[in-house]
Structure 1
Amino acid sequence: MKDDEYNSFNQVLGVRASAVASGLKKNSKLDLALIEFASSSVFSAVFTQSHFAAAPVLVAKEHLKKRISRYCLINSGNANAATGLEGERDALRCCEALAEIAGVKKEAIIPFSTGVIGEPLDVDKIRAALPDLFEGLHKKNWLPLSEAIMTTDTKIKIASCKFNISGSEVNITGVAKGSGMIQPNMATMLSFVATDALVDQKILDEILFEVSARTFNRITIDGDTSTNDASVLVSTGISEVDCNEGPGLVELKQGITLVMRDLAHAIVKDGEGATKFVEVRVTGGNKREDCLSVAYSIANSPLVKTALFANDPNWGRLVMAIGKAEGKIDSSIVDIFVNDVCLMSVGQRDQSYTEEKGAREMRKGSIVIRVNLNLGEYEETVWTTDLSYEYVKINSEYRT
């Protein structure tokens, strides 16, 4: 990213960040990040639903209950997951060391980790890097922050927007990481979104829950949920623009939705080995859950995903994926489209469809698969990728 592109991201009042190379990753890559929030800040977070939730997830949940959060400490290169009580103690040791430097209680530190599962966390490396990390805090460090939290990502993921209420400006900026092990359940891979709006805890929690459900919880690359998923939304209140109701609340929801949606799309576009960005839109459902079941059945099907990679308009695979989904489906009235080309009309191959038309659409880098169940008024959208040789190569060589 060029400097002028980076500078286009809005600085959120009351937020500073820093990143260093602690040695957890090879080749002196950035692997340790810190985000500092003003003492007035309100924190909201959702986490992975995995039964193997990582040690930092468990510690973070406990610390957030104290409502004194000031810092997010994030390491990449090691997930500190499936590490037992020692892993929790390691996460706490990192929090204690930073708390001493920052002059706050250890519960003010919220830890996050991402990387290889099952390996002990090298606490000594992290603790040794903390003084430089704290010293480097600056309001413009969103770029190194986004680099430091990457694992198999190939691109940084930053999104930003701003709006005005009665002549006063409110900023929203966020970063995320993730390109594999992606199908969250009330969480995301790792994302940190901040605003300088003034928002109460209850409203902030409602916004995160609602917006996550329509953005981060609607993406899938491989159908796998990480042990470390977390999505954090913080309001510093420094702008003093009250967004708890009225136009301010409406604008804030729209802005946070825009930022989280852009981050979610960026994660899909950077999916491991991905060559296509695919939107699966299911309409006409009898229930919202039926639409979502069909959408994920298509988006997670290896046969559909490999056909997408091969530019193969094998619409029989779409029929297969729809047919195995749960919920109410009447096969005699289903319509299927790829972009604007109708493949199936009322349960049969559309009379105007040709393989040439289908192949032309499948060759495009961005594809919309539309399914109309023709049973009701509900609809859902999921975003996904194709499945390529490179995905297999990346994941087979992940630890080698």
Structure 2
Amino acid sequence: MLKEDKAGITYAKGFKAAGIKAGIKKSGNPDLALIVSDNDAAVAGTFTQNKVAAAPVYVSKKVVSSGSARAIIANSGCANACTGQQGMDDAKKTAELTASQLGIEPDDVVVASTGVIGVTLPMDKIQTGIKTAAAVLKADGSEAAASAIITTDTYIKSLTTSMIIDGKEVRIGAIAKGAGMIQPNMATMLCFITTDANIDQVRLQLALSEIVEKSFNMISVDGDMSTNDMAVIFANGQAGNKKIVKNDADFKIFYDALSELCCEMAQKIAADGEGATKFLTINIHNAENFADAKKIGMSIANSPLVKTAFFGQDPNWGRVLCAAGYAGANMIPEKTVVKFGNITVYENGTGASFDKKALQKIMAEHDIIIDIDLSLGSADATVWTCDLSYEYVKINGEYHT
């Protein structure tokens, strides 16, 4: 059963974690996380599609391509992006320092960073911090690790779930960070997932890649794609189930549980958007295909005019319809129906008659559902986003300084 659980990445058997203050952040908050599997784990990952990718992304892609790993070392407060050869050297050195402390190989270490772009890592603090983190690894260290990876998040994001496969309890846990610079594909988000499922790397990568497309790649806070995003999953096999090596019934059980967890985590990220006062769920119904449904959903989610209207509790359906129209997907205005909550605001090519007081009540709520029925096919998509507030401008106007 899926639940919000501080056990997070140490919920599955055979994982330890730590989160400490290495002094990378000026605020003095925790800023270095370490996650370790007791044994070799199958690893899968998805990464930012930004051409300007950070050094740790390149290092970690190589680790994932090897198929197995043991540890994740992640820092906040410095993105180590746009830092040239020095950045690459520092990312590799971070893996080497972590491996040395754990008695493993550097190519068994996933490296992640988040924070300000264009600043090199303070390697003296990283080195000392890794030693400290390795010394305090605990089977209940997930909450500390989750605290160490956040930047502008207002709370830690931690989920767990479990299922029965081959008569064995299989557990999955995750932590994530992300509140701003959120736009697929992937976002300024880090998501680390651990499971004790016994599953081969091919199946693990297949599941994660497909699930990310309908979870983390269906959210937007501000339309900006980050340089550092990654979602990485470790599977160490300690649940003892018969190894999943085919797309069979056991694989489907695992897949569905992982999908539910990732979709819930994606919503948490969107809901915690920088300065957000509203959480918007945009359901696109009956598009010709999924690609069109996603285009329209993301177009609405990324529209500053839509987002500011919802911040101001203004039921301006024209902005929603306009964003749908320029998405680059097939839609026919006369066939399209738009609803805010359970109230139809547009149909038959024009604005609908509705109870204004009832609509005002919906617009005042924190969670608002927008339904767009295109009446063109049978494909659906759901996108999650938030509003755009004065506080968002303040946070990002002062982020570097």
- Tell me the residue number matched to 1:171: 171
- Tell me the residue number matched to 1:311: 313
- Cα distance per residue 1:290-323 (max 9 Å; x no partner): 1111111111111110110011111111121122
- Tell me the residue number matched to 1:228: 228
- Cα distance per residue 1:342-363 (max 9 Å; x no partner): 001122222x324333222111
Unaligned runs of 5+ in 1: none
Residues 234-249 of structure 1 mapped to structure 2, 5 A cutoff: 234-242=234-242, 243-245=244-246, 246-249=248-251
Equivalent residue letter for 1:200: D
Q: Give the CA deviation at 1:40.
A: 3.2
Normalising by structure 2, we get a TM-score of 0.95
Normalising by structure 1, we get a TM-score of 0.95
- Tell me the residue number matched to 2:44: 44
SS of equivalent residue, structure 2 residue 145: helix
Equivalent residue letter for 2:376: L
Distance 1:187 1:309, change over 3 A: closer
Q: Give the CA deviation at 1:39.
A: 2.5
Q: Distance in 1 between matches of 2:113 and 2:257?
A: 27
Q: Give the CA deviation at 1:41.
A: 0.8
- Tell me the residue number matched to 1:371: 372
Q: Distance in 2 between matches of 1:282 and 1:323?
A: 13
Q: Distance in 1 between matches of 2:8 and 2:63?
A: 34
Q: Give the CA deviation at 1:120.
A: 1.1
SS of equivalent residue, structure 2 residue 104: coil
Equivalent residue letter for 1:45: G
Distance 1:22 1:272, change over 3 A: same
- Tell me the residue number matched to 1:110: 110
Residues 10 and 141 of structure 2 are in contact (CA less than 8 Å); yes or no, is this contact kept in structure 1? no
Q: Distance in 2 between matches of 1:267 and 1:76?
A: 17
Residues 47 and 186 of structure 2 are in contact (CA less than 8 Å); yes or no, is this contact kept in structure 1? yes
Q: Give the CA deviation at 1:287.
A: 2.1
SS of equivalent residue, structure 2 residue 280: strand
- Tell me the residue number matched to 1:333: 335
Residues 79 and 113 of structure 2 are in contact (CA less than 8 Å); yes or no, is this contact kept in structure 1? yes
**Greater shift after overlay, 386-395 or 283-292?**
283-292
- Tell me the residue number matched to 1:262: 264
- Cα distance per residue 1:353-388 (max 9 Å; x no partner): 243332221111111111111111111110000111
Q: Distance in 2 between matches of 1:215 and 1:367?
A: 18
Residues 188 and 231 of structure 1 are in contact (CA less than 8 Å); yes or no, is this contact kept in structure 2? no
What's the RMSD between the two structures over aligned residues?
Answer: 1.7
SS of equivalent residue, structure 2 residue 69: coil
**Greater shift after overlay, 28-37 or 96-105?**
96-105
Q: Distance in 1 between matches of 2:324 and 2:188?
A: 26
- Tell me the residue number matched to 2:13: 13
Equivalent residue letter for 1:260: C
**Stretches of 4+ moved more than 6 A in 1?**
none
Q: Give the CA deviation at 1:166.
A: 4.7
Q: Does 1:322 align with 2:324?
A: yes
Among 262, 276, 279, the residue aligned to 1:277: 279
SS of equivalent residue, structure 1 residue 383: strand
- Tell me the residue number matched to 2:388: 387
Residues 147 and 156 of structure 2 are in contact (CA less than 8 Å); yes or no, is this contact kept in structure 1? yes
Percent of pairs identical after alignment?
38
Q: Give the CA deviation at 1:135.
A: 1.1
**Greater shift after overlay, 304-313 or 260-269?**
260-269
Q: Distance in 1 between matches of 2:85 and 2:9?
A: 40
Q: Give the CA deviation at 1:7.
A: 5.6
Q: Give the CA deviation at 1:140.
A: 0.9
Residues 56 and 80 of structure 1 are in contact (CA less than 8 Å); yes or no, is this contact kept in structure 2? yes
Paired residue total: 396
Equivalent residue letter for 1:316: G
